[in-house]
Amino acid sequence: MNTTALTPELPRSLAARRPRIAVIGDALLDGWMTGRCDRLCREAPAPVVDVSKEDFVPGGAANTAVNLAALGAESLMVTAVGDDVPGDQLVVALRRAGVRTEQVVRAPGRVTTTKRRIIAGDQLMLRFDGGDQGPLEPDVATRLAYAVGRAVTDVDAVLVCDYGTGVLGPEVMEAVRVAREGIPLLVVDAHSLARWRDLRPDVVTPNTNEVAAMIGTRLPEAAADRLTVLERERDGIAERAGTNAVLVTLDRDGTVLFDGAEPPHRTWARPAPENFTAGAGDTFVAALSIAASVGTPLSTAAELAQAAADVVVHRPGTAVCSWVELAERLGSEQSSLADPRELEKAVAEHRAAGRRIVFTNGCFDVLHRGHVAYLNQAKRLGEVLVVALNSDRSVRRLKGPERPVNTESDRAAVVAALSCVDHVVLFDEDTPARLLRSLCPEVYVKGGDYTPEMLPETPIVRALGGEVRILDYLSDHSTTAVIDRIRATSEGAT
């Protein structure tokens, strides 16, 4: 099974592998009360909502566990909740969603954390929270630490969701520390990453506020400026978090991954209009964890997680993304090839909105990490990335009769699935000169050991007022090198 390519087969193969993942964290009950509002109350100028429906679903770490189950993992929830009605509702909801709950500890006298939201029409009117936030009683903490020890035996990954409710106390941390050597993948999503630093997590997923608190500085509001600061501070962030891999979530601006010495990898979100969706971050970290648990490269895992989050932000309530829905989301890119005339109109609209157009082209046969890094860098030169793809006939003329390995429709689907790519268009000629003249991009990008003067497209771009940029050349990641390695491996096996 291929767990490295961002295709509809990836979520299917993850579900087929059914990795065993334990979620240790702060579980809560999310309540959604919906109705209509057409009057104010007599006592005060406050809206009156006639509630017609109330739903309770797992939230917080429990929502992450539910998303893991929906994506095909064997999901185990490890937490402590009150021995009360909300606790009963939460455990039942987890079981119905396919999450194992034998390591959920019930705490007598503790009130289960609950967040209730009141919705009128499409408007969130009010949220009110309840539940105990203090440390667990010593006997409950001891039982939870024992449950952690049992849950993390023979797992593919452990996901810690520490949101500061007091559930994950010193006893739990010590239980994870004792078992750490046997945990293949430890992912930590925590308000305070410093607490988990000594456990050397494999991946951490802070948001920008959490990073700002960790490095003691306020991050700029503008996305580009924030990224500049994050890139400058990446080594310090990783050191403070005790890890080599930091994936910072940027809310509506997507995410950025710092993975050792690798170039930063951005994902770009496709946000919905402001609404009352909750839990997209839970979906993101669940998809990231299930992909990474089977060895998927972190950049690909981040792209998959971004696609899963994009699915749920278009839904109200505490939403969940299944592996079927994720496969459909990636499969929808099969029809993503733009018509050149429609693309010209779309680019004109982007430009009218003040967006900078970046254009690149290539065969992109057997998409590999070098391609992904190159396209990621290209997108960061503007706001809209257009990728012109050589047709199959064009590839054969340029590369020989044995190429392409993948058809133009398959190549287009894989390229379009990357969050950095906004439009994909085919061209049948040897160069994209015709498209360059019709789209007039502000930036034309090529990757490799070229100079601008070596490219036949350079005079066209410059005559149109654009600039030509040459990005990093990753020689050991070329498509030809990948194909040669495949052939060598195949010949060695015969």
Active site positions, annotated:
282
208 known ligand binder: yes
| CB-based contact 385:375 (threshold 8 Å) | yes
Sequence-distant (6+) residues with CB within 8 A of 132 are: 82, 110, 111, 113, 166
442 known ligand binder: no
In this structure, how many other beta carbons lie within 10 angstroms of the beta carbon of residue 121? 11
The two structure tokens encoding residue 18? 């059914």
CA distances from 134 to 137, 145, 163, 462 (A): 9, 17, 12, 64
Torsion angle (degrees, nearest 10) of CA 210, 214, 216, 221: -30
Taking each helix axis as running N to C, give the angle between helix 223-232 and helix 208-215, from 0 to 180 degrees, rounded to the nearest 10.
Answer: 40
Reduce the DSSP state of residue 39 to 3 states and report it: strand
Bridge partners of 127, per DSSP, are 117
207 known ligand binder: yes
143 CB-side CA count, 13 A = 15
383 known ligand binder: no
Burial category of 475 from C-beta neighbours within 10 Å (exposed 0-12, middle 13-18, buried 19 and up) = exposed
- Tell me the binding residues for ATP: 207-210
- Tell me the binding residues: 207-210
